[in-house]
Amino acid sequence: MHATPPPSAIGSSLAPAPGPSRSASARSLLLLLLLSGGMAVVVVPLAVVPAHATAYFGDLHAHSALSDDATNPPDAFFRVARDVAGLDFVVLSDHDAFMTENEAEILKTTAASFDVPGRFVAFPGIEWTHRWHMNAYFVRNDEPYCLRDCPEAEDFYAFHGDTVLAGDGAGHVNHPADLFKVDWAQIDDRITNAVEVWNTAGAGDNEPGFGNALWALRAGFRLGLVGVSDDHNSGRDLPLLGTGLTGCDVPSLTREDLIAALRARRCWATTGERIELALDVEGTPMGGELEARLDGHVQVIVSARGTEDPYEIELLRNGEVVDRARCGTLGCRLVADVTVREPNTFVYARVVQQSGGRAWTSPVWVRGVCGGSRACLGSRLAAGGGDASADCLASWLLPRSAPYATGVRSTGRATCSDGDRACDAGDTAGECTFRLGVCFALASGRDAACAAAFPESFDVLSPAATPDRATPEFQNRALLLATHRAATERAGADRCSALGEMRVPVGTTELVTESRAGARVDRDVLALECRPARRAVRRLPVVDSPRAVARAGHGHRHN
């Protein structure tokens, strides 16, 4: 168990020193070596960091000795964050299940003593440490914490939800790639409306893979992308603190402005480099939502300022790279026209530097709506069968490409060969990865006799539940349940996920769901057949369009 620092040591923190210089020519890092006999300070010049009047960088997830498995007292933690890592803001989020009420008060009091608006923002926070982990952090210093009395996710949301929804706090989902796997069917993205795409201590890159950030976005969740270190030992000579960063463009360096930006999903993530990013889709900045005609185009502008050159900007639509720009100067811009191919289209950008540093914007969501014909979704939906008066509660959402031809939509059966890039989106031999999603409360592409309604319950009858997370059955079932949860808090009709990935071993896998609204029951069945590979297949990444480079606003390409 952890050792609690004496209150006298916690409460005697000095007033914060001036924050680090934000000049465009250089930035200095103060390496504080916390020694038993005192403190040594070494000044090491770092690489050029571009000046930006309103871009601030901080670490939203780290620990002090108030956590059961961490070291360094809270006051020393904040000194390292401010003076060693040179952060603009930091969240101290110790484990709720291991803190006493007194220790929680020490955390809040220490954060308050270091918080100086305009110079260094210290957030009091908490990490919900139960079936999986989530963070919450607050504007006020007297916010009550639910410690051992919130063992379930619904308890966490019930206790902290009103505070976050009122704008007095923010929250996010932690390290989805780590040991504590998230049950996305229980996530409320109105409250924890971001996810760690980078967590240095928790598997690093949390973007791809089952249950991770991109998986959740494809299931339909509205999530900003944040970067953190999850440092547990900030007293070490080379702490992790600041090796995962979240950047926010805010009017002023205050708790209030940062919380507002995080709640609006206007922040971005980096692997520790102070890379500046902006994303604009038809005038809507990152974190925003807009409508556009399905199969039409939207103009996307990505503006970046790297910390080294050359580097590359990648533009992604629903997780697939659709454009790239190679940047030979620190400041760079990519402009492209992107096709709205799905009713739920999300766009984000990723920066990759030669040294390995990366950054991710939060997405912009584009709701693809029907133009002149209300039945435009019909070509993307598979017939579910059953009573026509209930067949609009839910429906399979399919791509408008092989192997999802007209016959599939009427028969409810799709076939693919292992390794066929026209239909197999994965790279695992012996199985096919089908792309499909789910739409709820269908008003487009369905018989007018069926009144659109969002299902009050949604059950997955096949595949059956299994405890083995590595199996296709577990992962396919989890995706289907997550699509319903993600759509629950959306408004209106035609609530669709993006196209997620269904793993189908060689053979036939049957998906069966049952949606209920009042007395109506909508049972939907889809058979997916994976045939053995006919020959060895060289698997290559798929890019929708040729490379397009656009700097400083010159030129763009349709994607």
DSSP states of 8-26: HHHHTPPPPPPPPP--SS-
Sorted by where each starts, the structural domains of the chain and their CATH numbers stand as: 7-22+53-274 (3.20.20.140), 281-369 (2.60.40.10), 378-531 (no CATH)
Q: What is the pLDDT of residue 411?
A: 81
Q: Which pLDDT tens digit goes with each residue over 260-292?
A: 999 999 999 999 999 999 999 999 999 999 999
Pairing of strands 169-173, 192-199: parallel
pLDDT of residue 27 exceeding 90, the answer is no
At 29 the pLDDT is: 34
The DSSP string of 425-452 is ----TTEEEEEEEEEES--SSS-TTS--
Strands (E), 233-392: 245-249, 268-270, 276-281, 284-285, 289-293, 297-305, 311-317, 320-327, 331-339, 344-353, 358-360, 364-369, 381-382
Q: How far is the C-alpha of 104 from the C-alpha of 150, rounded, in Å?
A: 15
Least confident of 157-171, 217-231, 378-392: 378-392
In three state form, how does the secondary structure of 109-139 look? Answer: HHHHHHCECCCEEEEEEEEEECCCEEEEEEC
pLDDT at 33 over 50: no
Residue 73 has pLDDT above 50, yes or no: yes
Q: With a cut of 60, say whether residue 386 has pLDDT above it.
A: yes
Q: What is the pLDDT of residue 180?
A: 84
The amino acid occupying position 104 is A
Q: In this predicted structure, what is the pLDDT of residue 12?
A: 28
Q: Is 459 helix (H, G, I), strand (E, B) or coil?
A: strand
pLDDT for 389 equals: 81
Distance CA 545, CA 414 (A): 26
Reply yes or no on whether the pLDDT at 30 is more than 60.
no
| 486 has a pLDDT exceeding 90 | yes
Question: Phi/psi at 189 (nearest 5 deg)?
Answer: -80, 5
pLDDT value for 479: 98
The answer to whether the beta carbons of residues 135 and 126 sit under 8 Å apart is yes
Residue 546: how many CB atoms within 10 A of its CB? 9
Amino acid at 283: G
User: What does pTM read for this prediction?
Assistant: 0.87
For the cut 90, the answer to whether the pLDDT of residue 409 exceeds it is no
pLDDT classification of 53: cutoffs 50, 70, 90: low
- Measured CA to CA, the distance from residue 382 to residue 73 in angstroms comes to 58
Whether 233 and 65 have beta carbons less than 8 Å apart is answered as: no
Range 21-37 average pLDDT: 33
pLDDT of 543 > 60? The answer is no
pLDDT, residue 336, reads 97
Q: What is the DSSP string of 153-187?
A: HHHHHHHHHHHHHTTSEEEEE--TTSSS---GGG-
Confidence of residue 538 (pLDDT cuts 50, 70, 90): low
Residue 484, pLDDT above cutoff 70 = yes
Residue 558 confidence (pLDDT) above 90: no
Going by pLDDT thresholds of 50, 70 and 90, the confidence category of residue 319 is very high
What b/e readout covers 444-472, taking b as 16+ CB neighbours within 10 angstroms?
bbbeeebebbbbeebebeebeeeeeeeeb
pLDDT at residue 26 tops 60: no
| 551 pLDDT more than 50 | no
Averaged confidence pLDDT in the chain: 86
The larger pLDDT score, comparing residue 380 to residue 81, is at: 81
- As a whole number, mean pLDDT of residues 358-377 equals 86
pLDDT tens-digit map of 322-348: 999 999 999 999 999 999 999 999 999
Residue indicated by tokens 């192997």: 403
